[in-house]
Chain A
């Protein structure tokens, strides 16, 4: 779909690539969410995260979210890129970029996309501490 860019990759995500994809002369604004790896959970120091995915289904679910965002909000283009593998503090696991004629729709669609991704896309992260490791959210 020409208004949607979906990516799941073990390469470093590119903010520039997402921005360039959604850029559009008919748009008055671009909203970008960049997820970054935090150095702590509760009071424990996180050394690294390992992201794994059910790849083919994750791509389908990400595309579903993107389509829904385009249908629900007055937005032009959307990019949803997610990383796989080991990431360190400050690295970027997810980028969502949305362009729209007016800013309100861009903000709303971007929030919808990241909130939905965290609920439905089959991607898991394992946190590694000094003294062990844990699957995030595994025991809700």
Chain B
């Protein structure tokens, strides 16, 4: 199973990419994905103040991911 991860703002700068494909396991949650991202990209170690959206809706840590979900990493917004 795999999800597409979209990166924005400072997180895109920190990782140096705007999209990633990330392998997930059955029943993996948003929280599992956050942990996996931090392991793969140590530059995120000190950066945890972001929200997550799954398929264009904000999702909490316990949200269970499915194959081909589109997960967006949303650093603090600053529109307006």
User: Which chain A residues have a beta carbon within 8 Å of chain B's beta carbons?
Assistant: 35, 51-54, 56-58, 60, 82, 93-94, 114, 117-126, 135-140
Contacts and interface: CB of A to CB of B under 8 A. Distances in A.
Interface of B: 6, 8-10, 13, 49, 53, 56-58, 72, 74-80
Contacts, number: 75
Contacts of B56: 54, 56-57, 60
Contacts of B72: 54, 57, 122
A127 to B, nearest CB: 9
Contacts of A51: 79
Contacts of B80: 35, 82, 93-94, 114, 117-118, 123
A5 B70 CA distance: 27
Nearest to B55: A57
Nearest to A114: B80
Given A120-B77, A135-B13, 19 more contacts: A51-B79, A52-B8, A52-B9, A53-B79, A54-B8, A57-B53, A82-B79, A93-B79, A94-B79, A117-B80, A118-B79, A122-B8, A122-B72, A124-B78, A126-B9, A135-B10, A135-B78, A138-B75, A140-B49
